[in-house]
Amino acid sequence: MTDDLDRYRRLFDLTGKVALVTGSSRGIGRAVAEALAAAGARVVVSSRKPAACEAVAESIRAAGGEATAIACNVSRDDELRALVADVEVVYGVPDVVVANAAVNVHFGPMLDVDDAAYTKIMDTNVRATLHLAQLTIPSMAEHGGGSFVVVASIAGLKGTARIGTYAVSKAALMQLARNLALEWGRKGVRVNCVAPGLVRTDFARALWEDEAQHARAVRAYPIGRLGEPEDVAGAVLFLAAPAGAWITGQTLVVDGGTTIASGEYS
Ligand SMILES: NC(=O)c1ccc[n+]([C@@H]2O[C@H](COP(=O)([O-])OP(=O)(O)OC[C@H]3O[C@@H](n4cnc5c(N)ncnc54)[C@H](OP(=O)(O)O)[C@@H]3O)[C@@H](O)[C@H]2O)c1
């Protein structure tokens, strides 16, 4: 009986596992890094700014977790290659990879986007995630398997007149996860997305900082509040951990109910 319960006690246990989280110096990525560390993983904190990463790694260590900072701009191939190589040197082949770093540099009608903005969004959000998958998934498979989690967005599930190119990039990531899930499922690597709604981070500050904006936004959320980074971190932990062992190719929506809302909520 005790043995049976022990199996369930390990559903969210990542003791001894190695986790890499891109864009983890703040916001959702930071919360994900902290949640994975709290579950026992040795975590690599990464973003473009070394000092910001080191501060997060240090605070995880101070709280009793294990973390190392390795800076990397995911849109630079050489830096991404060096990041993965350094993770392997410091902790070994990762068991969990979270592709979280993303940008949005165009707001407005889809047909107004210029080539530079389109390329930057697709390059950072899609090509870099594919490249990260190419650099990590084969070695994860060789090393006994793992979980690759992409932070997408509910923007990729609906039409939008304001953040169209970003939404295209997020929809592409959901398809990327489905494709990779098929290719790697039998080799032990699961690939999933989480799709957050509006989360109170720097990324979306313009949409929630102002009181009137915030009140307007909250009306669309049946749970009655916007998201916090830790709301998303729990979903990523679920997909990364043994609890998610039979889930692959999926997009888990984490949005306070906004995508299923209509009528008084829209
Ligand atoms: N906030 C929302 O409402 C929301 C909703 C849906 C989905 N998302 C998604 O959630 C993810 C995280 O967003 P967030 O809201 O947590 O944003 P955030 O608070 O602005 O944090 C972004 C993180 O990514 C890093 N970063 C940015 N560009 C990078 C690059 N080229 N290479 C490496 N790191 C980079 C930033 O650090 P440095 O500046 O040091 O590089 C920072 O650590 C993104 O994929 C975003 O699309 C957010």
* Per-domain residue ranges of the chain: 2-252
Does the beta carbon of 100 sit less than 6 angstroms from any atom of ligand 1? yes
- Whether residue 265 lies in the annotated active site: no
pLDDT exceeds 60 at position 220: yes
Q: Are 244 and 145 in contact (CB under 8 A)?
A: no
State which of 47, 53, 162 you would mutate to test the pocket of ligand 1, scoring each by most atoms of that ligand within 8 A of its C-beta: 47
The CA R_g of the chain, rounded to the nearest whole Å, is: 18
- Between the CA of 244 and the centroid of ligand 1 the distance, in Å, is 24
Atom number of ligand 1 nearest to Cα 52: 40
> Which whole-number Å values give the CA distances from 88 to 54, 58, 67, 70, in the listed order?
18, 20, 14, 12
Active-site entry in 91, 166, 221, 265: 166
Does the beta carbon of 169 sit less than 6 angstroms from any atom of ligand 1? no
pLDDT exceeds 80 at position 264: no
- Whether domain 2-252 has CATH 3.20.20.150: no
Average pLDDT over residues 134-147: 98
Rounded Cα distance, 21 and 235, in Å: 14
What digits encode the pLDDT tens for the residues 56-105? Answer: 999 999 999 999 999 999 999 999 999 999 999 999 999 999 999 999 99
Token readout for 192 is: 């999933």
pTM: 0.98
What digits encode the pLDDT tens for the residues 46-67? Answer: 999 999 999 999 999 999 999 9
